[in-house]
Structure 1
Amino acid sequence: MRTRLRPQPVVPATSAVMTVPPQRRPAVVLTDVTRVHPGGVRALDGVSLVVERGSFLAVMGPSGSGKSTLMHCAAGLDVPTSGSVEVDGVAVQRLDETARAVLRRERVGFVFQSYHLLPSLSVRDNITLPLRLGGRTVDPAWLDELVERVGLSHRLDSRPGELSGGQQQRAALARALVTRPAVVFADEPTGALDSTTAQQVLRLLRELVDDLHQTVVMVTHDAGAAAQAHETVVMRDGRIVGAVA
């Protein structure tokens, strides 16, 4: 089992980066994380979680259970009210917004239900956009491997509007992976797809974890989707209330 719910004390990020080899660091560590929204709504209530590198974790729960807030805090999109979050050994809460944006661009990949592809750009340019925004060059061999794996080698010059929903989600997945991130967060990645296409995308996610040792955290309400993960945690009222391996 590669995802632990109650971690042992974590070495501070400033030391962990220097002393723990990257391949041995957990991808994400949340320690006693609480997030209180304006109005006093406690969206997360003392959540601790370790996501090991190369694992596939699904997060399930009813609407309002805190699963989306958990993802936002774990991905550096939001800052916890208390507790700590580390992504690839970096303490997120110690960063200002500019530094968090750099962290997200370079070490985190995102896949959303609505794809978020830019309609005016080709598939190739959509996939490589995170690299170009960061002033980084494209590794042609890595790009070729990605587009081959997602089955889009023949559609690189197409626009998103010329693709099916499944193809658009595959392009979004390649975009999430192009920076070789420490972790990919997938928010209901199959919610807009028919059941057959959804299963194809989920199998692709699992293959990327198993073959490339990519780390994936997927928020979903679908038990069938969660079955593709190595482990599933269940949330209710801002807490993790169970886990299934």
Structure 2
Amino acid sequence: MSAPLTAPGARRAEQSEPAVVLRSVSKLHPGGVRALDDVSLTVRRGTFLAVMGPSGSGKSTLLHCAAGLDTPTSGEVLLAGQEIGRLDEARRTELRRDRIGFVFQSYNLLPALTVADNVTLPLRLAGAPLDRDWVQHLLDRVGLGQHLDRRPAELSGGQQQRAAIARALVARPAVVFADEPTGALDRASAAGVLGLLRELVDELQQTVVMVTHDPAAAAEADRTVVMADGRIVDTLDWPTASALAARLVALGEG
């Protein structure tokens, strides 16, 4: 049996304060294309939110604005209690580094580094202290405790994504944003990664916001928001994969 995903000194955030808040957020791209249209959303701490929608619905733009990777044209984004728009670029970068973890479809591991060095890279770049017990605990929990010295090319796709998740968690962030984290994986590997994300929420009280096109992936979340034409058109609590698939078909996808 695997060890619980807990750690000495891990942040157990208060449930009363939202992890992420979007207030009337709009985003216009050049040419007047409206990627987000007056979107408001609250993500409670210690919950798993999935964002779905047809291609071009605005789901990736929502994630980028919520994570401080992009700047809204109007509206407010609060992350871990701080309004991102009030921060200069240096403070915004610091907020992303210290309070946000990112997991992407392409893993973004550095091929020349070992698993251990990839996972600890954010701490070393920030000049932060390295808690070796926490790093070992993370790697054990994601199933890579025996692969510390391997390089990404020696890992399967599922193992690489698990390394990326450990890297996202190493600084104990307030929120983990995952952009299509299972999009490049086979079904079995995807199920393992989704199970791990679910455990992060249930055992570590981590907050996870995941963009996905896969109804089966979104069904692992506590709540799913469905987007179309830059707006949130539906919110479903604990939906089934079949209910989500039907909703996408109704919106013209699938």
Q: Which 5+ residue runs of structure 2 have no aligned equivalent?
A: 1-11, 238-254
Question: TM-score, length-normalised on structure 1?
Answer: 0.90
5 Å matches for 1:53-92? 53-92=45-84
* 1:92-118: CA deviation from partner (whole Å, max 9, x where unpaired): 011122221111111000000000000
5 Å matches for 1:167-206? 167-206=159-198
Matched residue, 2:139? 147
| Residue 153 (structure 2) pairs with residue 161 (structure 1) | yes
| Residue 7 (structure 2) pairs with residue 35 (structure 1) | no
* 1:187-207: CA deviation from partner (whole Å, max 9, x where unpaired): 000000000110011001001
Distance 1:53 1:130 in 2: 23
Matched residue, 2:251? none
| Residue 124 (structure 2) pairs with residue 132 (structure 1) | yes
Matched residue, 2:248? none
Matched residue, 1:15? none
8 Å CA contact 2:13, 2:45 repeated in 1: no
Structure 2: which amino acid aligns with 1:157?
D
Match of 1:114 among 106, 120, 129: 106
Instruction: State how many pairs are aligned.
Output: 225
Distance 2:13 2:78 in 1: 13
Q: CA deviation at 1:22?
A: 5.5
8 Å CA contact 1:53, 1:214 repeated in 2: yes
| Residue 229 (structure 2) pairs with residue 229 (structure 1) | no
Distance 2:81 2:92 in 1: 13
Q: Which 5+ residue runs of structure 1 have no aligned equivalent?
A: 1-20
Q: Percent same amino acid among aligned pairs?
A: 68
* 1:214-233: CA deviation from partner (whole Å, max 9, x where unpaired): 00000000000001000100
- RMSD, aligned CA: 1.1
Distance 1:164 1:207 in 2: 21
Matched residue, 1:123? 115
